[in-house]
Amino acid sequence: MENSTISKCTIAFGLALAIACVVNSLIVVAKEKSEAVMAGMKKITGHHWTTHSAIVVLLFLGVGALLTLVKGGRGIEMSASRLIGIVVSAVAGATLIIVGFYLFID
């Protein structure tokens, strides 16, 4: 018999993925627009892109782990359709921000 559940880890890391994708695109704008942000990111690891990647990956893993612990460890409840909508919107929106920024603004 089919069920319609997805695990709390799948939901937690799916939401973390969406958040990290959007933050990724916002960091692009921040570092390209602010010399201070760019210099700061270069200083941390020696290259701005290495720092950028590390921040986003750690954000994904950290937020995902935290979201599995909410509600006394039961995690967030959400339908798969809603989660798919959130992930697809975040990836599409982040892509538009990054591509749009480099094509039209920078």
Q: Residue 7 in 3-state DSSP?
A: coil
SS3 80: helix
| 28-57 positions binding other proteins, by CB under 8 A | 28, 46-47, 49-50, 52-53, 56-57
With binding defined as CB under 8 A, does residue 89 bind other proteins? no
Cα dihedral 4, 9, 13, 15 in deg (nearest 10): 50
Transcribe 19-60 into DSSP letters: HHHHHHHHHHHHHHH-HHHHHHHHHHHSSHHHHHHHHHHHHH
Site string for other proteins, 54-83 (x = CB under 8 A): --xx--x------------------xxx-x
> Which of 37, 38, 76, 98 is in the footprint of other proteins by CB under 8 A?
98
Asked if 5 and 74 count as a contact pair (C-beta separation under 8 A), the reply is no
Beta carbon of residue 71, minimum distance to other proteins (angstroms, whole number): 19
- Interface ranges with other proteins (CB under 8 A): 1-7, 9-10, 13-14, 17, 20-21, 24-25, 28, 46-47, 49-50, 52-53, 56-57, 60, 79-81, 83-84, 87-88, 91, 94-95, 98-99, 102-103, 106
